[in-house]
Amino acid sequence: MFGVKKKDKLPEYSPQWEKITRPAQIINLLNRSKEDHDLINITLSGDKQIYHSSILRIQAQETTILLDELVPASGHKHITPASRIQVRLRCRGAEIRFLTRIKKISSHKGIAIYHADLPDSIHHLQRREYFRIKTHSDSLQLTIPLAGSSIRGQLSDISRGGVGIIISAATSLSSGQFLPSCRLILPQEIIINGSLSIRSSRKGRVNNTLHIGGILSDISRQERNTLDRYVTKLERALIRRSQKV
């Protein structure tokens, strides 16, 4: 997608860092940062100053990332078309780093917008074993037993080892809780039984919701295979969509 000179290299990383090269995964991760309005750190080639920006838009068809004007504003004087930059950001507990090149600078209402190449690869450090895929189906739910009853949450993402769930903010759940006897409901009423260890919990911006991330365990081998097949199907669909843009 872009050519970074061999001398422009990211620092050496520990084995915990994963190099991601699939376009669908790269777009998915950067879109998360855009949706969360994460602050990103930018360094320019030959400049030790750290500048701040944010991702405004991902244009997959044009293989372009739109970045907001640098802060402090003095950085804008040092950035030009063809400038090579290193981007570092944290998104939902993960750290992402990549190199890219500015190919165009435009403006909107007097504020600079940098058009950068969508990277061929990113380095990704995440404290979870599996890459999660966003879900958009009302049929994907998780039932959690609580105090003699149960609540049903909507899945926001899923992987072979964990899930993201959206539930009512009135529910008292927090990081560190272990919830046995949960039921993951897949399309066509396929049921996966297991336990959920909550790793993250944050309030949603709208609709009085609570967003929970957790690790699935205590799943039978047969149901684990069913879950693996379903996630593989989602991964393939994601790749096909990315190849069309």
pLDDT in tens, 190-216: 999 999 988 888 887 767 888 888 888
Structural contact between residues 118 and 101, judged by C-beta atoms closer than 8 angstroms: no
From the list 150, 227, 228, the residue with the least C-alpha distance to 182 is 150
Class of domain 133-244: mainly beta
Coil, helix or strand for 168?
strand
Residue 136 structure tokens = 């958009």
Q: For residue 149, what pLDDT band results from cuts at 50, 70 and 90?
A: confident
pLDDT over 90 at 37, yes or no: no
Report if pTM > 0.85: no
For domain 18-125, the CATH superfamily is Electron Transport, Fmn-binding Protein; Chain A (2.30.110.10)
Question: In the chain, which segments carry CATH 2.30.110.10?
Answer: 18-125
pLDDT in tens, 3-34: 444 445 554 434 457 788 888 889 988 998 89
Question: In the chain, which segments carry CATH 2.40.10.220?
Answer: 133-244
- pLDDT at position 35 is 87
Residues in Cβ contact with 60 at an 8 Å cutoff, skipping those fewer than 6 apart: 23, 27, 118, 242, 245
- pLDDT at position 25 is 83
From the list 243, 32, 211, 61, the residue with the least C-alpha distance to 122 is 32
Q: How far is CA 149 from the centre of its chain?
A: 33
Structural contact between residues 217 and 193, judged by C-beta atoms closer than 8 angstroms: no
- CA distances 33 to 90, 94, 150, Å, are 8, 10, 32
Mean pLDDT, the chain, rounded, equals: 84
pLDDT over 80 at 150, yes or no: yes
Coil, helix or strand for 171?
coil
